[in-house]
């Protein structure tokens, strides 16, 4: 967690129906608009990311609505389950874990009465990036009136997204991902078209009534008791991101995306140099890199070795991918130093546990170094961490 956010949390001892809180809330909601990159209002909810996913379904659809879910992993399956839970008639474009969809198959699945299309910007369970821009363009060129609803919980801050320019109607983020604070907050923005759908939805709503939330947010308040300390932390985190862009939050967000892309590219090069294979045929996200262990090795062995010998956290595959892949995160606070460290530790694990043909120390590190040198020679890249940024 970001140290500045930790201090802000500890100091956030204010009552929520006060001018102090209203000032904080309005400031953070404004910052979120810039971070997301939209002119639409952004709402904050006291829930994990899934709460905002559920709010999108319950507020913008009605039972019996035909919707299209694009699914290629655990979080795509969550959209499907949510839409079904609220009585939608779900059409599904489904690809195996590790893959993404072709725009032609999305086009074929789109119908005249499709009310909404649900997708992930990045599918965290597989490390794959989906083509949100392409899907948005497709909806436009097909003359579809379907809302485009994007789970960008790991996409925001790792992926370039032009929310308003592309015509994304709903975009969803979560506090524990790129904004580097603890879990417990979800945020989302809705387009005018989406607000119209919220007005006509026949679903019952109470805690996640976005219309009510918007009305209150306009007065600097939340409908129910807000997660005050997390909101203070979020403000501090967005200040920190702005500082990465010389005080410009949009530039800071772009620097954050750039950093994640650099770490991801370093990791992919390192993994290949080691003789391991990346999971999936391409379209790699910068949120996390999913790697296949050598044949016959359970990925849990690698996860355990990294944790027990180096206190390095990489994650196993989820659900059906457990034991079959391991995932190295690049989102948020990870940077060059972390990436070099994890690649070095991975070489140690490979040396003792993986029996890879042609293994030699330094090959993976050299590949990562090379990528960093090339990318940081580009004028837009950020090349160094802030000196005061110390790991918590
Ligand atoms: C983390 C994540 C979520 C939300 O999960 P919660 O546990 O509810 O915060 C949803 N979608 C994606 C792609 C995620 O990475």
CA of 334 to the centre of ligand 1 (A): 18
Task: Kindly tell me if the per-residue pLDDT of 207 is higher than 80.
Answer: yes
Does the beta carbon of 50 lie inside 6 Å of ligand 1?
yes
* pLDDT of amino acid 386: 41
CATH number of the structural domain 249-376: 3.90.1150.10
pLDDT of 390 > 50? The answer is no
Residue 159 has pLDDT above 60, yes or no: yes
- Whether 370 is in the pocket of ligand 1, judged by its Cβ within 6 Å, is no
The more confident residue out of 318 and 391 is: 318
Confidence of residue 33 (pLDDT cuts 50, 70, 90): very high
Residue 387 has pLDDT above 80, yes or no: no
Nearest CA to ligand 1 atom 5: 49
Closest atom of ligand 1 to 154 CA is: 15
Closest approach atom of ligand 1 to CA 174? 9
Atom of ligand 1 nearest to the CA of 122: 13
Looking at ligand 1, which atom is closest to the CA of residue 183?
A: 9
The Cα–Cα gap between 79 and 323 comes to 24
- Is 77 a pocket residue for ligand 1 (Cβ < 6 Å)? no
Q: What are phi and psi of 70, to 5 degrees?
A: -105, 115
If one counts every other C-beta atom within 10 angstroms of the C-beta of residue 148, the result is 25
pLDDT tens digits, one per residue of 69-88: 999 999 999 999 999 999 99
Per the CB < 8 A criterion, the answer to whether 195 and 42 are in contact is: no
Q: Which CATH architecture has domain 3-244?
A: 3-Layer(aba) Sandwich (3.40)
Interval 218-265: pLDDT, tens: 999 999 999 999 999 999 999 999 999 999 999 999 999 999 999 999
Single pTM value for the model: 0.95
Distance 45 CA to ligand 1 centre (A): 14
Cα 50 to middle of ligand 1, angstroms: 6
Residue 48 in contact with ligand 1 by CB distance below 6 A:
yes
Give the distance (Å) from ligand 1 centre to CA of residue 49: 5
Ligand 1 pocket test, candidate residues 51, 151, 182, 318, most atoms within 8 A of CB: 151
Confidence at residue 389, expressed as pLDDT on a 0 to 100 scale: 38
Q: How far from 149 is each of 55, 56, 164, 287, 337, CA to CA, in Å?
A: 11, 8, 12, 19, 35
Residue located nearest, by CA, to atom 3 of ligand 1: 49
Q: Are 172 and 75 in contact (CB under 8 A)?
A: no
- Grade residue 384 by pLDDT with cuts at 50, 70 and 90: very low
Residue with CA at minimum distance from ligand 1 atom 2 = 153
Does residue 32 carry a pLDDT above 90? yes
Provide the pLDDT confidence category of residue 319 given band limits of 50, 70 and 90.
confident
124 lines ligand 1 (CB under 6 A): yes
The mean pLDDT of the chain is: 95
Residue 380: per-residue pLDDT: 53
Confidence band, pLDDT 50/70/90 cuts, at residue 376: confident
Check residue 274 and give its pLDDT: 97
Tell me how far apart the alpha carbons of residues 287 and 228 are, in angstroms, rounded to a whole number: 27
Q: Where are the domains of the chain?
A: 3-244, 249-376
pLDDT at 260 (0 to 100): 97
pLDDT at 392 over 50: no
- Give the integer Cα–Cα distance in Å for 184 and 176: 7
Cα(19) to ligand 1 centroid in Å equals: 32
Q: Please give the Cα distance from 303 to 314 (Å, whole number).
A: 6
Give the ligand 1 atom nearest the CA of 287: 15
Residue 174 Cβ < 6 Å to ligand 1: yes
């Amino acid at each position: 967690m970001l140290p500045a956010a930790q201090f802000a949390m500890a100091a956030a001892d204010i009552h929520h129906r006060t001018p102090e809180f209203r000032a904080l809330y309005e400031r953070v909601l404004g910052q979120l608009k810039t971070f997301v990159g939209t002119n639409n209002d952004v709402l904050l909810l006291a829930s994990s990311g899934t709460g905002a996913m559920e709010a999108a379904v319950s507020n913008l659809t009605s039972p019996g609505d035909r919707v299209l879910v694009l699914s290629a992993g655990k979080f795509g399956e969550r959209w499907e389950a949510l839409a079904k839970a609220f009585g939608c008639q779900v059409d599904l474009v489904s690809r195996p874990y590790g893959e993404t969809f072709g725009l032609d198959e999305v086009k074929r699945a789109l119908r005249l009465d499709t009310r909404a299309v649900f997708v992930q910007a990045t599918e965290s369970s597989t490390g794959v990036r989906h083509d949100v821009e392409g899907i948005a363009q497709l909806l436009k060129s097909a003359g579809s009136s379907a809302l485009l609803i994007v789970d960008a919980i790991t996409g925001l801050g790792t992926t370039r997204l032009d929310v308003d320019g592309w015509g994304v109607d709903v975009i969803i983020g979560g506090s524990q991902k790129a904004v580097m604070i603890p879990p417990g907050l979800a945020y989302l923005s809705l387009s005018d078209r989406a607000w119209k759908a919220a007005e006509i939805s026949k679903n019952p709503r109470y805690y996640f009534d976005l219309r009510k939330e918007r009305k209150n947010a306009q007065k600097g308040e939340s409908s129910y008791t807000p997660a005050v300390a997390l909101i203070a932390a979020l403000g501090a985190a967005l200040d920190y991101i702005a500082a990465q862009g010389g005080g410009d939050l949009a530039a800071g967000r772009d620097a954050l995306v750039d950093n994640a892309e650099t770490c991801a590219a370093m990791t992919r090069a390192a993994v290949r140099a080691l003789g391991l294979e990346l999971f999936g045929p391409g379209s790699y996200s910068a949120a996390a890199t999913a790697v296949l262990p050598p044949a016959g090795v359970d990925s849990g062995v690698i996860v355990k070795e990294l944790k027990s010998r180096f206190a390095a956290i990489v994650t196993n595959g989820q659900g059906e991918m457990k034991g079959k892949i391991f995932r190295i995160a690049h989102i948020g606070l990870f940077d060059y130093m972390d990436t070099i460290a994890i690649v070095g530790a991975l070489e140690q694990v490979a040396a003792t546990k993986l029996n890879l043909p042609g293994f030699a120390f330094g090959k993976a590190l050299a590949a990562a170094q090379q990528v960093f040198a090339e990318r940081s020679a580009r004028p837009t890249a950020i090349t160094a961490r802030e000196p005061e940024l110390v790991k918590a």
